[in-house]
Amino acid sequence: MKATGIVRRIDDLGRVVIPKEIRRTMRIREGDPLEIYTENDGEVIFKKYSPIGELSPFAAQYAEVLYHAAGVPVLICDRDHCVASAGIPKKEALDRRVSTQLEEIMESRRTHVTKAGDQRRFLAVEGVDRAAAVAIPIIAAGDVTGAVILMMPENGAIPGDTELKLIQVAASFLGKQMEE
């Protein structure tokens, strides 16, 4: 554990403020769920809760199925990191931070589809140099919890309606799984 040197007092309602610098560094947004852990020596640890992270073994299986169906690498991310991948070596993608571009897509709740002739590359995850073709937010109980990303094929072909539908179904299905 790393000491920050910041001390905060608990107010009369039992609240403590997490400083803005720490929230920004740890990408903690208003309304984000936090898990609370305690240690016998009096430590209280707050950890960002990831509903998609809880489903990561299931998400990994779903990514594999999508990869085999579409023939193109697939990533599944929570709001901050890649939690499952198929078609790309796991050590290249897993636990990597999502890009600011993907964060913006998730925040706006919109689908990104690369169009023919699109000059700018959309990189979904930091450190993964392969561009994304489609990114669709995963929404559970009205909250954005992550995204399903279909990467660009090596031949640079633009994804068709079938691939788009596959990713839409994946995002909807994962969202429903988190609601149950």
- Per residue in 27-70, pLDDT (tens digit) is 788 877 888 888 888 888 888 777 777 777 888 999 999 999 88
At residue 36's C-alpha, the angle toward residues 35 and 40, to 5°, is 145
Q: Which two tokens stand for residue 118?
A: 């699109």
d(CA 106, CA 85): 18
At residue 122, φ and ψ (nearest 5 deg) are -105, 105
Helix (H) or strand (E) holding 156: none
At residue 9, φ and ψ (nearest 5 deg) are -100, 150
d(CA 111, CA 80): 18
d(CA 44, CA 47): 10
Task: Using the Cα atoms of residue 126, residue 130, residue 132 and residue 138 in order, give the sign of their dihedral.
Answer: negative
Tokens 């990994």 appear where? 60
Tell me how far apart the terminal alpha carbons of the chain are, to the nearest angstrom. 34
Taken in order of first residue, the domains within the chain and their CATH numbers are 1-49 (2.10.260.10), 52-179 (3.30.450.40)
* pTM strictly above 0.85: no
93-148 pLDDT, tens per residue? 888 999 999 999 999 999 999 887 776 788 899 988 888 999 999 998 888 889 99
Helix (H) or strand (E) holding 99: none
- What is the chain's alpha carbon radius of gyration, rounded to the nearest angstrom? 18
How many residues are listed for the chain in this entry? 180
pLDDT value, residue 5:
79
pLDDT value, residue 119:
65
Count of alpha carbons within 13 angstroms of residue 48, beta-carbon side: 20
pLDDT value, residue 99:
92
d(CA 108, CA 110): 5
pLDDT value, residue 22:
85
Q: Which two tokens stand for residue 28?
A: 């903690």
